[in-house]
Structure 1
Amino acid sequence: MDEKNVAKEILENVGGANNVSHLEHCSTRLRFTLVDDSKVDAEAIKKISGVLGITQTAQTQVIIGGAVVEVYREVEKLLSGIQVDTEKGSKKRPKWQDVILDFVISIFQPLIPAIAGGGILKSLLMLLNLIGVLDKTTSTYQILTFVGDAPLYFLPLLVAITTANKLKVNSLVAVSAVGGLLIPGLTALITEGTTLAGLPIQNINYAYQVFPAILCVISYSFLEKFFTKISPKVIRSFFVPMMSLLIVVPLTLLVLGPIGFTFGQGFASVIMTVFARFGWIAVALLAAFLPFMVVTGMHKAMIPYVITSLGETGKELIYNAASLAHNIAEAGACFAVTIRSKDKGLKATAVSAGISALFGITEPALYGVTILHKRVLYGVMFGSLIGGATLGLLSVEAYVAVGPGIASLSMFISETLPNNLMYAVIGLVVSFVASFAAVLVLWKEPATAGAQENETNEIDFNAPVEGQMIPLSDVKDDVFASKMLGDGVAIIPTKGELYAPANGTIKMIYNTKHALGMQTDEGIEILFHIGIDTVNLGGKYFESFVSEGQKVTQGDVLIKFDLLKIKEAGFDPTTIIVITEPKNVKFNLVSEEQVTKEEKIFVIEGKEENAIA
């Protein structure tokens, strides 16, 4: 994957650098907060090589997969020094719930790596103690336990950083303000009972707390703006932080801290009450609906609860158990598809996505398999429901905020509940077997879906390039070979011309002219990609003969390219033809080996609607 080009194309299609007010990433997605959401070209983003999909809720989320960190860094470079143009944003006011959700996700999502790393370290130490490798009474065990506990203990400071970044205020001053609540000397005074200006300070231990820190930094953001506005520039560098600290720390100790602490305890208490009343039913239902939540990104709304629960009680009872059931159900479904499907490309996609899901990353499975096949979706929901119910009935507790999977099973190790890990493994097995069995029974090859209904409605496609035709699975590009973007064929060209394979309309032409999208008169969307990584040629050796919106007739020349010079430049000229919409078409190859532009190379006979719109 060319991360630089992917980052550039994504940024262009989310409205440009000036339209990005905030950027972060999770394990598989770039998460944009935009000034004007209407500027997003979702269809163009979906067609970018290396992009698995896009969802738009409170944030615009571009699903990348395993290379998300590399693409994120390239986008960051492109955003460096860019001023956000908020004046030209959409005049349509965003929904208040979207604003809150965006704010919450932006604060809590970046905390996950640190909390997960520390939590897994602690759970591995407990495992070493259980098997007799490292005794918990040793100084080594105790020191490493403190290291693992540090992210949660200093959670207020981490929250101060993420909140300050979201509000675009000085993060170091924000950390200093919240850090004032954690100073050992002040903590001792508060524990013994003390006052500030004659007013009593409530005895609260602010370590592990989230909401007091958030309220503190929000207040600081207003103070920073106010004092920056009224103070002379010559003293601003020290006057603004001094006055802000002088006001916000006492305000937090007296008012904001107790409010945040009470809210946090109440928040955790509500969740515990829900579990006590509904127990395994809540876990089972949440697991069953997680496919929809993950696809839309709404599962991130659970992060505040998970982190708060871990900070308040040291454990979490619902979400991680449900997530384990769903992740493993995705894996079971994918492996069942691998066995049942006759499509080599789908088999390859399913097996790699299944392995990824086993390790807690479900987006490849969801976007590559589950949401494209209704029967697989039903199998995943069934497996998640049964697995979630099992984990709920066994009251499995989690002690780390990380995507549950085989590699992170240590997150369920408990010193007080010796069977907790065993129960988690039982739930894992039940989820896998239930989903695997359900998909084995439910699976129906997409190629036969709707064939009877469309037998007389065949759509013929002539070869768009003359040359040697090869299966899409033989293309030296994982995205195309796995059929992640759709089914199709590839041709090793002998002549540098791209023709219209059917009557239709040009929908998109890349600036570099190496790729083109068209829609046939029957509504079939086709992507043509001339060469592997030829985007790096920057348009050199390509000449377009059509424009976007232009009607074309079968056989019309769309693009000419200098085949010899492309090869001399070191690029593979293999041309890929992919049916991007609709998914799951009945795709019959008619011709093989050498083809000319007059030859019919494939026929589409039937199609099945996507499982999720």
Structure 2
Amino acid sequence: MDVQKLAKEILELVGGNANVSHLEHCSTRLRFTLIDDSKANLEALKKTPGVLGAVQNVQTQIIIGNSVVEVYNEVDKLLENDLVNTLETNAKKIKLSTRLLDFIVSIFQPLIPAIAGGGILKSFLMLAALLGLLDKTTQTYQILFFIGDAPLRFLPLLVAMTTAKKLKVNQLVAVSAVSALLTPDLTMMLTKGAHLFGQSLINVNYAYQVFPAILTVICYAQLEKGFTKIVPKVVRTFFVPMFSLVIVVPLTLFILGPIGFTFGQGFASVIMFMFEKFGWIAVAILATLLPFMVVTGMHKAMIPYVITSLGQTGKEIIYNAASLAHNISEAGATFAVALRTKNKELRSTAISAGISSLFGITEPALYGVTILNKRVLYGVMIGSFVGGGSLGLMAVEAYVAVGPGLATLSMFISEKLPNNLLHAVIGLVISFFVSFIATVILWKEPDNEENIKNLKATVLKTPVEGKVLPLENVNDDVFSAKILGDGVAIIPDKGEIYSPSDATVTMVYATKHAIGLKTDDGQEILIHIGIDTVNLKGKYFDVHVKEGQKVKSGELLITFDIEKIQSEGFDPTTIMVLTQPKAAKIVVTESNYVSQFEQLITL
């Protein structure tokens, strides 16, 4: 995979540098906060080689898979000098609820690697102690435990960093403000009864806390911006931080800290109450809904609860159990598909996706198999409900914020509940086999011989006059390898693209060099003008239709200047591929040259 090329294509299809307000990534996705969501071309993104899928919900999320870090780094380089602080200035364009959820996800999502790494280390240490491999009383065990516990103990500092980054203020000063709350001497002073300006302070232990740090940095951000406007530039470097710190830390000790601490306690209590009220059914329902939540990215909204629960109580009792049931159900369903399907390509995809799901990464299964086949989705939902219900009935607790799977089962190790890990394994086995059996029973081959026999022949006319070129001979690996689909290429004589059939325009690229169509009988077609002509950024192209417009066979779609395209050094070869063909055999004309409206492909 050429990650540099992919990064450029993705950035272009989300509306360019100027449309990006914030960028982050999780284990499989690039997560963009865009100024104008409508500028993102989701259909084009979904068809981009290297992209597994794209969704838009609060953030524009582009599913990459295991190469997400490499792609993120390349996109980040492209944005480095252009990322603009326009989310706040464009607040009127974005709903308050959307901005709030984006703010929360942007703060908590980056915390996961540190918290997960430390948590897994602690769980392995507990396992070593249970097996008698390491004595808990030794300094070696204690020091390693301190290392694992550090991300949660100093969670306020991590939160301060991510909050300051999101608000685009000085991260080191923000961390310094929160650090003041964690100094051992102040902690001891608060325990014994501290006074500031003659007023008593509420005793709050700020270690492991989230919300006091968030409120502190929000307040600091306003102070920094305010003082920056009024303090002379010559002394701004040290006076702005000093004035901000001397105000925000006392204000936190008096007001913001106690408010944030109380809110955090209440937040965790509400979740515990819900579990006590609804019990196992809450876990079962959440697990059943997770396929839809993961596809839309809404599962990330659960991260604040998970991290807060771990910080407040040291455990989490709903989401991770539901997530384990769903992840393993995806594996069971995809392995069932691999067993039943006659399609070699689908079998290969299903096996790969199933292995990934066993280790807690479900996007390949969801986008490659599950959401494309409703019978598989039903199998996953059945397995998730039964597995989630069993985990809920056994009250399985998690102690680490990480995607549950075979490699992270240690997240369920508990000293107080010796059977907790065993119960998690039982729930895992139930989820896998229920989903596997359900999918085996429900599966029906989507493109069977009966469908092919009953399908009527479809004729696609030539979209442009010129010399016919086999797709395998196109000077572009994506098209010649038929990664996007089968079809044909034409070296054009005229710069006019016509609709090959009665169809609906599903996509018009922002750079005007390509167009997507869906014929009345459901065939999806991509017409791509030239090789690498995306780099022309729309020059020499004119589009005469718009997305959603119905067009007749032979209707003019795009005009382009062949000579000017060639003068810029680009190959004008035009490709027509069927990106999602229905069950059919593609027969290309035997003619070496096709004229306007001549038959080109028969399905």
Work out whether 1:411 is the aligned partner of 2:411. yes
CA-CA distance at 1:172 after TM superposition: 0.5
2:410 and 2:455 map into 1 onto residues whose CA distance is 57
Residue 263 (structure 1) aligns with: 263
Does the 8 Å contact 2:360/2:403 carry over to 1? yes
Residue 360 (structure 1) aligns with: 360
TM-score by length of 1: 0.84
2:172 and 2:85 map into 1 onto residues whose CA distance is 25
Work out whether 1:489 is the aligned partner of 2:486. yes
**Residues 519, 282 of structure 1: CA spacing in aligned structure 2 closer, same or farther, 3 A cutoff?**
closer
Q: Which amino acid aligns with 1:586?
A: K
1:216 and 1:51 map into 2 onto residues whose CA distance is 38
Residues 568-592 of structure 1: CA deviation (Å, up to 9, x unaligned): x9x9x99783324xxxx53222559
Residue 230 (structure 1) aligns with: 230
Does the 8 Å contact 1:447/1:587 carry over to 2? yes
Gaps of 5+ in 2: none
Residue 589 (structure 1) aligns with: 585
1:136 and 1:497 map into 2 onto residues whose CA distance is 75
Q: Which amino acid aligns with 1:36?
A: D
1:390 and 1:7 map into 2 onto residues whose CA distance is 43
1:74 and 1:352 map into 2 onto residues whose CA distance is 26
Q: Which amino acid aligns with 1:10?
A: I
Paired residue secondary structure (1:32): strand
Residues 365-424 of structure 1: CA deviation (Å, up to 9, x unaligned): 111111111111111110000000011111111010001111111111111111111111
Q: Which amino acid aligns with 1:330?
A: E
2:578 and 2:172 map into 1 onto residues whose CA distance is 50
Residue 312 (structure 1) aligns with: 312
1:412 and 1:574 map into 2 onto residues whose CA distance is 55
* Residue pairs, 1:416-495, within 5 angstroms: 416-448=416-448, 451=451, 455=454, 457-461=456-460, 488-489=485-486
Residue 372 (structure 1) aligns with: 372
Does the 8 Å contact 2:13/2:510 carry over to 1? no
CA-CA distance at 1:129 after TM superposition: 2.2
Paired residue secondary structure (1:422): helix
CA-CA distance at 1:131 after TM superposition: 2.5
2:187 and 2:320 map into 1 onto residues whose CA distance is 33
1:204 and 1:69 map into 2 onto residues whose CA distance is 38
Residue 125 (structure 2) aligns with: 125
Q: Which amino acid aligns with 2:58?
A: A
* Residue pairs, 1:97-496, within 5 angstroms: 97-448=97-448, 451=451, 455=454, 457-461=456-460, 488-489=485-486
1:313 and 1:85 map into 2 onto residues whose CA distance is 37
Gaps of 5+ in 1: 604-613
Paired residue secondary structure (2:203): coil
**Residues 408, 87 of structure 1: CA spacing in aligned structure 2 closer, same or farther, 3 A cutoff?**
closer
Higher mean alpha-carbon deviation, 388-397 vs 40-49, is at 40-49
TM-score by length of 2: 0.85
For the aligned residue pairs, the C-alpha RMSD in angstroms reads 3.7
**Residues 520, 548 of structure 1: CA spacing in aligned structure 2 closer, same or farther, 3 A cutoff?**
farther
Q: Which amino acid aligns with 2:209?
A: Q
Does the 8 Å contact 1:178/1:216 carry over to 2? yes
**Residues 323, 238 of structure 1: CA spacing in aligned structure 2 closer, same or farther, 3 A cutoff?**
same
Q: Which amino acid aligns with 2:357?
A: A
Higher mean alpha-carbon deviation, 86-95 vs 441-450, is at 86-95
Residues 453-475 of structure 1: CA deviation (Å, up to 9, x unaligned): x94654235799956688xxxx9
Q: Which amino acid aligns with 2:178?
A: V
Residues 514-539 of structure 1: CA deviation (Å, up to 9, x unaligned): x66444465632135799xx649968
CA-CA distance at 1:558 after TM superposition: 10
Residue 64 (structure 2) aligns with: 64
2:28 and 2:81 map into 1 onto residues whose CA distance is 25
**Residues 545, 96 of structure 1: CA spacing in aligned structure 2 closer, same or farther, 3 A cutoff?**
closer
Paired residue secondary structure (1:342): coil
Paired residue secondary structure (1:54): strand
1:308 and 1:45 map into 2 onto residues whose CA distance is 34
Does the 8 Å contact 1:108/1:303 carry over to 2? yes
1:222 and 1:262 map into 2 onto residues whose CA distance is 23
Does the 8 Å contact 1:50/1:479 carry over to 2? no
Paired residue secondary structure (1:136): coil
Residue 500 (structure 2) aligns with: 502
**Residues 245, 469 of structure 1: CA spacing in aligned structure 2 closer, same or farther, 3 A cutoff?**
closer
Residue 30 (structure 2) aligns with: 30
